[in-house]
Structure 1
Amino acid sequence: MSGGERAPLRVDTLHGTPVADPYRWLEEPDSPATRTWLAGREREFAAAAATWPLRAPLAERIRDLVCAELWTPPLRRGRRIFATRRRAGGEHPAVVAFEGAAGDGGPDGGARVRVVFDPHAFDPGGGTTLDSWEPSPDGEHVAVQTSSGGTERGALRVLSAATGLRVEDPIEGVRYSHVAWAGPEAFYYVRRDDGDGRRGVWLHRVATAGGGPDVLVRACGPRTVPGVRLLGGRWLVVSESHGTGHRNDIWIADLAPDDSGADGARFERPRWRTVHAGEEAETHPELGPDGLLYLRTTLGAERRRICAADPRSPGSADWREVVGEDPEATIDGFTATGTPESPELLVARTRLGISELTAHSAAHGGLLRRVDLPGEGMVTRLEPAGEGPGAGVHMCYADVATQQEVLVLDPGAERPRPWPRASRPRPPTPVRRRTLQCRSADGTRVPITLFTAEDPPDAGSGAPEPGEPGPTILHAYGGFGRPRQFGFSATVLAWLRAGGRYAVAHVRGGGDLGRQWHLRGARRGKPRAVDDLVAAADALAGQGVCTRGHLCLSGGSAGGLLVLAAAARRPNVCGAVIASAPLADMARFERLGLGPMWIREFGTAADPQDFAALMSYSPYHRVLADGAADRPAVLLTGFHGDTRTDAAHPRKMCAALLHHGQAERPALLRYEHDVGHGPRAVTKAIELAADAHAFAAAETGLAPPPAEEAPSGGGSPHRREGT
């Protein structure tokens, strides 16, 4: 079968409604029919991509922008310091170790850096990714989790920190396992995959300590995500997140020795105390230097607050509020620092994608100082820089024009410094940010962030002047309560340098304006997120940022669903759409990938009201029912190893567009066989980004740089004109 050719029509009846599914056969990823069909799509994509003038220049520019050495914040364990480092031009980060003081400027002070685990050396083909890692408290071992082929299901290995050699057989079948070392030779880890009867938190003893069978310490439900942490070397914390609905339950247990002397019992059968369970809340705990629990929570605060509790009596009825909720900014992260006598909380908030950092007294919550960040960007991974009152805090910082760097905030300081000391941020490209507003169909005001470059150095001769409409990408996500944060993106920066504009619609369903903003765009409210995106597109055209033909909608995963749904509802809303690894068939999303985990976000086809909402925007079914007349050009991306959204979604969506669309408007599928939804080698990431944005450039009229100007009359013949 090729193009949009259909097998004998498959029709399901749901709640008395016939639901056509002519491309059900494309759910079989390795069938001969699917392979033949994919081969046709790959030829179509290659032929189209060869005509895009900006494909090579964008790839070159993106590679140049990402060619920098990147570190993660260092962790001291015993006499060693651990971090990950991706060398300039490298494909993957590697786990490294060195000796010295974690906050003194790092390895550039003369310490010899030794590689403990390098994914590229482990798999020179580049298909293995480093998913997580955690060193033991004495610094002698490192637990490293990897996966291959994009499946995000892999193995947990225990390596010697001195030699990098494996010390025992790997634990197979784990997925992004949290690891909490309970001592130098034992750790807790999680199993998240369904179907094997082993879902939950397990205790593992390393072979050097005698090994033995792993012990289940807490089982978890079939549609929850377990997590485990050890705070202060004493307090074991287990969480159970309910799908991706921003709700979790938390328990804590004291692993300190008692008079019984039964060490095995306290490690294998912890005595759990409930922090909270059954609440519509999401909470994250940290341990302060004063021995108290500090809890970032949505309980009683949709934009989050921080409370304190005694870990021996951690129930929410005994919490004391320390840092209150800000009505306009959401608490993203925090860490407890200072001394037992004078503990402090360093708190990161996000206000429409931009981070703010403040220090507060942990005793009364009062503001102690504001921290001066390098620019308008994103702060992540707040972590103590070591033990003791002079350790300070590590963090990561990035903004739209600045590659991620590690910073150190010394005690009492108002401005962080780089780590390692020798690191130098790339001179930023001047980028202008401004906020626009639009009104959605129900009158709700929806903010839009717009980025432009001042005097873009790579722009072609046809680049628009300020105030003139020009090629614009409008990005949206709108799912799972995730706020958009504006960190570094080489792809966005390359697009801006080429003369394009980049906008982000902060639609409902995301977390940009708090928990209620998410809930109003979730489940039966998901059509509101589609309305918000359509309104944002209308606003950009109405305010002269772009014309319809200049506009490309872009989103990935849940955002891919959103942009496809907007184009299916209003085919003339834009000139092009990029949907990366999208959801598309909302009648069957629960049967594909991680769909069963997402019922709280999208609803279930088993419920009549949820089903009606799903079918009102399901892109696959809207195209099948309404056709795709006057639709925009569409680029779908799919990844064969995708265990989250499942590549059946873009395959089926592409087939529907090809059968029901207009031949003069391309519907392309860029398909990769050896990657998945998550991280990948740098080269593969560059190729994907360059292809997607070269498509956007061709369809919106963004010109190549002066040295590679297209001939007169060049560019895409499909670009729309008018308003």
Structure 2
Amino acid sequence: MAAHHGIARDDDRAALLCVVDTVHGTQVADPYRWLEEPESPATRRWLAEREHEFAAAVRGWPLRAPLAECIRDLVATDLWTPPLHRGRRVFATRRPAGGDHPAVVAVTDGDDDSGDGREHTVFDPHTFDPTGATTLDSWEPSPDGERVAVQTSTGGTERGALRVLSVPTGLPVEAPVEGVRYSDVAWIGPDAFYYVRRDGGDGRRGVWLHRVSPTGPEPDVLVRACTGRRTVPGVRLLGRRWLVVTESHGTGHRNDVWIADLAPGGASGTGRYDAPAWRTVHAGEEIESHPDLGPDGLLYLRTTLGAPRRRVCAADPRRPGTAHWREAVGEDPGAVLDGFAATGSAEFPELLVARTRLGISELTAHGADGRLLRRIDLPGEGMATRLESDGRGGAHLCYADVATQQCVLALDAGGTRPRPWPPGSQPHPPVTVRRRTLHCRSADGTRVPVTLFRAGGGPVGDASSAAVPDDPAEPGPTVLHAYGGFGRPRQFGFSATVLAWLLAGGRYAVAHVRGGGDFGQGWHLRGARRDKPRSVEDLTAAGDALVEAGVCRREQLCLSGGSAGGLLVLAAAAQRPDLCSAVIASAPLADMARFERLGLGPMWIREFGTAADPEDFAALMSYSPYHRVLDDGARARPAVLLTGFHGDTRTDAAHPRKMCAALLHHGGGTRPALLRYEHDVGHGPRAVTKAIELAADAHAFAAAETGLAFPREPAAAPEGARLLRRWEQA
């Protein structure tokens, strides 16, 4: 790559360098390269102007305040995670109604999960940092329940420290371990654990052994180094004996898995924790597997081996290679296997399996031989996640749907109807939401589903057709969401933002575009790397289908996506400026010529390709939103709201900064191009208050640009009635 520089001017204030790169013989202009420097005086001045513009725009959005109040009401419930039994304690996190962050709590002296014991808070991020900038990224209690390892990060960087706390006192027992990022922790006793270090530290990435030492630091031991610069390690301890290490290769459907026997006299020969003897489960193959240990002592693996929509296989952990696997639960040709839990007893092991069929979870129990034993009744048409054995034959899981806040459910051994946990807890009062499915034809003829939601009007249902049938409603403001990346299927969990939009009378649609994982590995790969333009074509076809079906008019359609979805909606609007009225792109990728040089871009080559390859580069430039705007000149374009987070270490905030500058100077100028920029948050979790403000701003923008006005009547009761009163008061 060669580069030369010309002179451009930033708002006629100062002479700035305009870089032009030569890539594979093609000149690629980059007039806003200077905005990649987040702390430069020029960038700071430019951001101050964008913040002033955004503040002025918000004052003209009449639904901003009532949307924020409605979202705040909808999330005002206690939010728990599934309980973990350790020693004589039960651990979970709870975010109290009205709270900003979840706290780690412990219940002592309860002989079951009834919640009747003495509860106390072990770690509260708000107490640790009253500014609210510190988040709890992960946590894991020791086997005896006397200590808990918590990882925190500050300012949205997702890079932080791992602290070991005393459960009775909540105080640290030693100096923190630095240089971790969402670190897995696998305790091997009360005083030692394995963890992963992905960045920082001494630069070596891999799985480390840490011995808790209150009297002084002991050097950690690297027990397995990463095999590549772009792999992500993971570690788990199964059955307090089998140490499993994984390495994910970028974001593709591939990982490597090894296992070691930590028992004295086992495969390691010595039982030494600092020198485990590894056996290969699989490595160097296009396979993705996630293991668990059954009560019968067998290793069960959710895997793509021979099953692009995944199946469950079983193996003896002493002979874990794929040649020794047998199928336990087969692949379903119409659904993707998302998760499983090995439950039951040693005599009668069971596999609890969660599948997703076009956004909706299904839960079934199978024998170890794959026989279907029973179907599990979920509370509605929603999303079942975090499926985990409770160690007593049953399981815990999280459930949510479009109208139901996430709740924890406990499923007894042999049961078919889970019950709320903690006992007496209830999800948010239900709101009637209708769900329909329509299909569109993409540019190459592929049939792409689009799921449509609307509040009120009868029971929840599902109808599949080429259009939304027999719907008497007039076209109305509609948000069309898409992600289409990394093989992730769209699952219909709870979003207070979406529900508030529906209650206000809007419609919400989800396009199941290629690049996502809605139909397994093949669906993902047909929208990845050089085929990524297909994801854009799928989204534009979905937008056209909504208009043709009478769901909305062009001026009532707003595209919405975040991260890889932000890239998708920006690319669709750049290629088809007539497609919609507005675009919300949250923390998006935008400059695909340089994505590898920003944030976690080097990890995403398997997903998007690399500019070093001529054919990959041609595909990248065919849809790169930043360059499409620069090259196409002053065309009339939709209104665009970009969000950027200064602490974002995934999709670097240079992407939305540069995209906004391109839209302002080359985007036609007839519709607003706004940047909502935050300085103390990142790509991941944040304080609830900040999340509410972001969501309200984004959807108030969508309301203003699509014509969503004060509702004439409640969309659903009782929340719709309360929302209407706030509209009237506003």
Q: TM-score, normalised by structure 2?
A: 0.93
CA–CA distance in structure 2, aligned partners of residues 102 and 224 of structure 1: 42
Aligned to 1:381: 386
CA–CA distance in structure 2, aligned partners of residues 433 and 197 of structure 1: 49
* Equivalent residues in 2 for 1:267-666, closer than 5 Å: 267-362=273-368, 364-386=369-391, 388-389=392-393, 392-454=394-456, 466-666=472-672
For each residue in 1:387-435, what CA deviation from the matched residue of structure 2 results, as whole angstroms up to 9, or x when unmatched? Answer: x44xx11111010000111111111111100111110222211000011
**Structure 2 residues without counterparts, runs of 5 or longer:** 1-8, 459-470, 712-723
SS state of the match for residue 384, structure 2?
A: strand
1:251 maps to 2:295: no
SS state of the match for residue 689, structure 1?
A: helix
CA–CA distance in structure 1, aligned partners of residues 671 and 599 of structure 2: 30
Q: Tell me which of 51, 58, 73 is aligned to 1:64.
A: 73
Name the amino acid aligned to 2:559. L
Compared CA separation, residues 348 and 209, structure 1 to 2 (3 A): farther
How many residues get paired?
A: 696
SS state of the match for residue 20, structure 1?
A: strand
Q: How far off its partner does 1:183 sit?
A: 1.1
1:160 maps to 2:166: yes
Aligned to 1:117: 123
CA–CA distance in structure 2, aligned partners of residues 696 and 418 of structure 1: 36
CA–CA distance in structure 2, aligned partners of residues 479 and 663 of structure 1: 30
CA–CA distance in structure 2, aligned partners of residues 259 and 537 of structure 1: 59
1:693 maps to 2:699: yes
CA–CA distance in structure 2, aligned partners of residues 453 and 53 of structure 1: 21
Compared CA separation, residues 259 and 18, structure 1 to 2 (3 A): closer
Aligned to 2:715: none
Q: How far off its partner does 1:328 sit?
A: 0.6
Aligned to 1:179: 185
Residues 289 and 302 in structure 2, CA contact (< 8 A), matched pair in contact too = yes
For each residue in 1:86-117, what CA deviation from the matched residue of structure 2 results, as whole angstroms up to 9, or x when unmatched? Answer: 11100000000012447543x2x3x2211000
CA–CA distance in structure 2, aligned partners of residues 241 and 601 of structure 1: 13
Aligned to 1:237: 244
Residues 434 and 457 in structure 2, CA contact (< 8 A), matched pair in contact too = no
CA–CA distance in structure 2, aligned partners of residues 133 and 102 of structure 1: 23
Residues 188 and 240 in structure 2, CA contact (< 8 A), matched pair in contact too = yes
Compared CA separation, residues 309 and 418, structure 1 to 2 (3 A): same
For each residue in 1:135-179, what CA deviation from the matched residue of structure 2 results, as whole angstroms up to 9, or x when unmatched? Answer: 000111100000000000000000001110000000111111000
SS state of the match for residue 118, structure 2?
A: coil
Aligned to 2:467: none
Aligned to 1:52: 61
Residues 75 and 81 in structure 1, CA contact (< 8 A), matched pair in contact too = yes
Residues 703 and 710 in structure 1, CA contact (< 8 A), matched pair in contact too = no
CA–CA distance in structure 1, aligned partners of residues 341 and 122 of structure 2: 28
SS state of the match for residue 495, structure 1?
A: helix
**Structure 1 residues without counterparts, runs of 5 or longer:** 457-464, 715-723
Aligned to 1:193: 199
Aligned to 2:102: 93
Q: How far off its partner does 1:693 sit?
A: 0.2
Residues 80 and 95 in structure 2, CA contact (< 8 A), matched pair in contact too = yes
Compared CA separation, residues 451 and 579, structure 1 to 2 (3 A): same
CA–CA distance in structure 1, aligned partners of residues 138 and 27 of structure 2: 45
CA–CA distance in structure 2, aligned partners of residues 558 and 121 of structure 1: 34
CA–CA distance in structure 2, aligned partners of residues 227 and 424 of structure 1: 34
Aligned to 2:720: none
SS state of the match for residue 309, structure 2?
A: coil
Q: Tell me which of 687, 702, 706 is aligned to 1:681.
A: 687
Residues 97 and 116 in structure 1, CA contact (< 8 A), matched pair in contact too = yes
Compared CA separation, residues 195 and 86, structure 1 to 2 (3 A): closer
SS state of the match for residue 234, structure 2?
A: strand
For each residue in 1:511-544, what CA deviation from the matched residue of structure 2 results, as whole angstroms up to 9, or x when unmatched? Answer: 0011000000000000000000000000000110
CA–CA distance in structure 1, aligned partners of residues 267 and 302 of structure 2: 34
Q: How far off its partner does 1:319 sit?
A: 0.1
CA–CA distance in structure 1, aligned partners of residues 12 and 89 of structure 2: 58
CA–CA distance in structure 2, aligned partners of residues 511 and 688 of structure 1: 27
Name the amino acid aligned to 1:152. E
Residues 74 and 496 in structure 2, CA contact (< 8 A), matched pair in contact too = yes
Residues 568 and 628 in structure 1, CA contact (< 8 A), matched pair in contact too = no
Q: How far off its partner does 1:605 sit?
A: 0.1
For each residue in 1:322-381, what CA deviation from the matched residue of structure 2 results, as whole angstroms up to 9, or x when unmatched? Answer: 10000010110100011111100000000011000000001x110000001100000011
Compared CA separation, residues 618 and 303, structure 1 to 2 (3 A): same
SS state of the match for residue 266, structure 1?
A: coil
Compared CA separation, residues 508 and 262, structure 1 to 2 (3 A): closer
Q: How far off its partner does 1:210 sit?
A: 7.1
Structure with higher RCO (Cα < 8 A, 6+ apart) = 1
Residues 147 and 153 in structure 1, CA contact (< 8 A), matched pair in contact too = yes
Name the amino acid aligned to 1:552. C
SS state of the match for residue 442, structure 1?
A: coil
Name the amino acid aligned to 1:423. S
Name the amino acid aligned to 2:240. G
Residues 647 and 679 in structure 2, CA contact (< 8 A), matched pair in contact too = yes
Compared CA separation, residues 4 and 24, structure 1 to 2 (3 A): farther
SS state of the match for residue 638, structure 1?
A: strand
Residues 10 and 16 in structure 2, CA contact (< 8 A), matched pair in contact too = no
Aligned to 1:669: 675
Compared CA separation, residues 491 and 466, structure 1 to 2 (3 A): farther
Residues 51 and 675 in structure 2, CA contact (< 8 A), matched pair in contact too = yes
Compared CA separation, residues 548 and 87, structure 1 to 2 (3 A): same
For each residue in 1:642-668, what CA deviation from the matched residue of structure 2 results, as whole angstroms up to 9, or x when unmatched? Answer: 000000000000000000123330000
Q: How far off its partner does 1:246 sit?
A: 2.0
CA–CA distance in structure 2, aligned partners of residues 657 and 193 of structure 1: 35
* Equivalent residues in 2 for 1:23-38, closer than 5 Å: 23-38=32-47
Residues 244 and 259 in structure 2, CA contact (< 8 A), matched pair in contact too = yes
Residues 480 and 518 in structure 1, CA contact (< 8 A), matched pair in contact too = yes
For each residue in 1:16-38, what CA deviation from the matched residue of structure 2 results, as whole angstroms up to 9, or x when unmatched? Answer: 00000000000000000000000
Percent identical among aligned pairs is: 78
Aligned to 2:719: none
SS state of the match for residue 567, structure 1?
A: helix
Q: How far off its partner does 1:196 sit?
A: 4.2
CA–CA distance in structure 2, aligned partners of residues 102 and 403 of structure 1: 28
Compared CA separation, residues 683 and 16, structure 1 to 2 (3 A): same
Aligned to 1:42: 51
CA–CA distance in structure 1, aligned partners of residues 269 and 535 of structure 2: 55
SS state of the match for residue 7, structure 1?
A: strand
Name the amino acid aligned to 2:386. R
